[in-house]
Structure 1
Amino acid sequence: MSALITVDRVSKSFTGTTGAELRVLDSITLDLHEGEIVALLGRSGSGKSTLLRTIAGLIAPTSGTVRYRGTELSGANPGAAMVFQTFALMPWLTVQDNVELGLAARGVPTAERRERALAAIDLIGLDGFESAYPKELSGGMRQRVGFARALVLEPDLLLMDEPFSALDVLTAENLRNELMSLWTGPEFPTRSICVVTHNIEEAVLLADRVLVLGANPGHLRAEITVDLDRPRDRRSPAFAALVDHLYDLLTGREPDAPEPEPADATPTARPLPAASVGGLAGLVEIVHARGGRADLPDLAAELNFEVDDLLPLVDAAALLDFLLVTGGDLHLTPIGEAFTTAGIQRSKEIFAGQARDRAPLVRTIRRTLEAGAHGTVRAGFFRDLLRRGFSTTDARQQLDTAIDWGRYAELFDYDTNTDRITLDTTSVHT
């Protein structure tokens, strides 16, 4: 079967503020075929949305090619339409006007635009709201407008960038089910769907194939075929087995890309997870309360969170050696048990020792302050260094996390007025 879309060794880099190259995608090759739904699944930093936008032709690859029906893209993909996470509606336009936008851009005559837009609005279940404005609609209804605006173009390929993540759980589930009903029906105007998600169950519910992306930079880690009949039963053993396998892939190390040990790593080789001290300490407490072991998928379900929401906390607790992660299982370590059962001051001392030894950026800041004559450094110094390996946003997040950890551990302090980080000389954590 010939490919609808061919992504051939695509890499994408951006230039950071310091002029250094920031690679987001690294040599990705994949095909999308007619009659299938493909999910792009990965953690933060895996470049899922960037890859989707290269397929849409909205971002040009730095190297490699994207081809639509054999023709290399040199601009927007003529066979694709996109649904965004944030709805991206024009608030001053009615539902019908929003749906007609793409048709107007293509020069479709007014009468035909109206007819096609009304048909798409009816298909997606919004008839009666043609004259409403976005502010009058719920989140689920706004996303329906986004679907109608994409489907009215009758694209070969429907691209969806986390289209359900901004919705409440019940609305998202209802919209997913309706999308699957449309997909299997005779009136659905598109031949293939590619959806970006961080929700593992969503990927198994929707997709015929799941492409798992690794991070920093984004690369294709695994391809999993979902050979289950629709509608899919979350309670079936086959469904659960696929979900567990994908959890293992997302939480486990890649065999060909071993991470350096925290004590030896640089701040760019082992970035700090976006986790607060309170958040990671809370996770360690929960695992301790469950007898020192917890199943990550079950824990996420009990807490009514997505696993992707918990992964930064898991990564942070593992980085500090408070938890050991094996597949989807979390195990409390001896130092983790000491940390969560000690009194406040002793717990802070344990955290300080682990952060100083095992959190590379915290260690780097502490050593820089100790080496300086006055024990103080402008925070901008570290931001500039971090921007050589991270985007501006990620560099800021890295430093914010390090400051949060360092202040709690009394390893250093930060003054927002002067934007300076200073050695905490009153601390006993030396």
Structure 2
Amino acid sequence: MTADLPVVVIGAGPIGLAAAANLHNRGIDFIVLESGTTAGAAVREWDHIRLFSPWSQLIDPEAAKVLAEAGWSEPDPRRYPTGGTWASDYLQPLADALGGAVHYGATVTGVAKRGRDLIVDSGRDDAPFTVHVDSAGGEQRIHARAVIDCSGTWSGANPLGGDGLPAVGERAESQRITYRVPDLQDHSIRARYAGTHVVVAGTGVSAKTALVNLADLDGTTVSWLVRRPTTGNAFGGGENDELAERGALGARAQKVVESGRVDTVTGFRTAAVETQSNGQLTLTSFDGESVPDVDEVIVLTGFRPDLSILTEVRLDLDFVLQAPRDLAPLIDPNVHSCGTVYPHGAKELAQPDAGFYLAGMKSYGRATSFLAMTGFEQVRSVVAEIAGDHESAARVELTLPDSGVCGGSGLFDEAEASGDGGCCGAPAGADVATP
């Protein structure tokens, strides 16, 4: 019987562990598969970054119940942890409290319906899922009644190339290109960027963090590549932002840029990375514009989901965002210029193969406006649906902090939306509490 099988959760990050906590509290058997060696392995890769969401927004309610039973002391809800603190003081204790159901070093290589590839209809609805796993013990096949994919998008950094593919020469110069916010508190990393010409590509919170940090390095020249024709609302809503730390970061970045310590190049969509005779780099745009004499490039242009493990699962994804089709209209920046996010849960996240759900950052595909709180509500609804509590699953409620700005990332050559700095409509989404 499929009902006797466990639910498999892919990923032991903030949303995967929240899903596990919901399953635990409902008495549903589950297994969490984490490719890393610890809980929150991806979060630990940006352990030096302080989140712009306070502890009060970073702890799942059901997870708090599990931790309370284990004698955990909740941190000050008003404080802002770093990624490292979030992982060590919350995610790891939560995983420990969930016990042996959390498996580390377990890399999911594929998900399918047992004995059926993508094209087989016969008996598909009644067949359990088979999750293919590689671990130190060898290959495993785990049968599951349902699968919740919370594997995130951290491994899928977008390239520098302005058309969504690596620019010519981008791979060849990989030693001088990074896709993460550098930890300038590390002396060796600080030395790498000090006194050099650094290009930062991107306009999100990660890019703003990098601009602020690099501006403090003596002798470092910073060029900021912006794909849009203007910087527009790239600095966020400032004092209008209901996440105060996010607004403050934007204000600091704007001050740095306007001080002249950063050279802003707008309308620049990178086509090629070329090596000069002196060993430095030249970045060339599709329009023929160039930024020469570059030593280092920091690419912070967002992330995309890795769908390679899901080739045998029937998915219904939006062709633009690569997010669940019913969710995409709620988060598409081409449609909602304010990043408006309405309540959503199991109904929007479910896929054609019944019992399979995308949740967390991966559910947003290429969209960026994601908060941990969004994921917590997603998995609460999904687990309720798996448990047969359809009323609870349908009762989704979500109120997110307003970003205080208009203008979606889908804008290309069009003028930015105008306004007085407030948002255009309903409560706005926010960038996930990551770097």
- TM-score, length of structure 1 as denominator length: 0.28
Is the radius of gyration larger for structure 1 or structure 2? 1
Structure with more of its chain in helix, by fraction: 1
Structure with more contact order per residue of length (Cα contacts < 8 Å, sep ≥ 6): 2
- TM-score, length of structure 2 as denominator length: 0.28
